[in-house]
Structure 1
Amino acid sequence: MGQAYSVLMVCTGNICRSPTADGVLRQLVAAQGLQDVVEVDSAGTYDYHVGEAPDRRAQQHARKRGYDLSNLRARQVAGSDFSRFDLILAMDKGHFAALRQRCPAEFQSKIQLFLDYAAAFQEDEVPDPYYGGAEGFEHVLDLVEDGCRGVLAHVQHQLAARTPS
């Protein structure tokens, strides 16, 4: 069976926030046994780091919580992503605006703010930890874990709605 549902996480350069969300959601999906049904990927709005592994600090903090980001490589959002993915999640309002600007009209509804799926945090943007210290990466992980739990619940609901009873 092919991928029944696909999620794309998007930040600026695809080396901190979106690969962290990608890695966390992949692990949650695998824990539910859905890795053959749900595709998870990440990309950046800009091509600053194409081909690079996630930021070493993002990897280090994620590893401490049991997430492995080492196999991920940065890429820029492609035009085909808008038709290919079911859900495109922007880490902040700037990414949301950039995605909406590039996205064909028929796919606009796929673009949403990632933290709209968070339950424990009231923030609406995942802050960029790149220029800060360790606490920024930990806060990103807190937000991402919360948001990914909500995304997974949404994906499971979508899959259930697609499955004939």
Structure 2
Amino acid sequence: MVCMGNICRSPTAEGVLRYKLRQAGLHELVIVDSAGTHAYHVGEPPDPRSIKHAKRRGYDLGGLRARRVGDGDFETFDLILAMDWDNYALLEEQCPAPHRAKLRRLSEFARRHDSPVVPDPYYSGAEGFERVLDLIEDACEGLVDHLKAN
């Protein structure tokens, strides 16, 4: 899961996907991580607003810490899911050609919401963080179904 600073969207997606995988009994088969395309917040916990809104829905983000996408991530992970087009483009620039097929947007897996991206809630109020959770929950449910089928 990748966003810009790894403090709002991508750690939220990491926490939600871990929860959904546990519910589906796949938590021991799938490794989930998150990172940012920029190193603005390396080592910091998720944004307090992300933690608060996620907690209200039963997701624990408290132990997560921001990190930057590393070159090894492109080899290690089977899917690298960007939250938006800008971060997707940055990943494309960094990703070795043999691994580019692993790059996708998380929103591609959404079923109920028709949004091409998970928008950055950083400069929004509570409604932005709730919208992000709605989109991420939907996409993670679709992703779990995708993983089951493959």
Q: Residues of 1 paired with 2:145 and 2:96: CA distance?
A: 27
Aligned-partner residue type, residue 60 of structure 1: K
Counterpart of 2:115? 123
Residue 23 of structure 1, CA deviation: 0.2
Aligned-partner residue type, residue 105 of structure 1: A
Q: Residues of 2 paired with 1:70 and 1:154: CA distance?
A: 27
Aligned-partner residue type, residue 154 of structure 1: H
Unpaired segments ≥5 residues, structure 1 = 1-8, 159-165
Counterpart of 1:163? none
Matches within 5 A, 1:35-114: 35-114=27-106
Q: Residues of 2 paired with 1:13 and 1:111: CA distance?
A: 18
Q: TM-score, normalised by structure 2?
A: 0.98
The alignment partner of 1:112 has SS state of strand
Aligned-partner residue type, residue 123 of structure 1: S
What count of residue pairs does the alignment treat as equivalent? 150
Higher strand share: 1
Hey, which bits of structure 1, 4+ residues long, moved more than 4 A?
A: none
Counterpart of 1:152? 144
Unpaired segments ≥5 residues, structure 2 = none
Counterpart of 1:161? none
Matched, 1:15 2:3: no
> 1:136 pairs with 90, 108, 128, which one?
128
Q: Residues of 1 paired with 2:32 and 2:144: CA distance?
A: 11
Q: TM-score, normalised by structure 1?
A: 0.90
Superposed CA RMSD in Å reads 0.6
The alignment partner of 1:121 has SS state of coil
* Structure number, greater radius of gyration: 1
Q: Residues of 1 paired with 2:81 and 2:97: CA distance?
A: 17
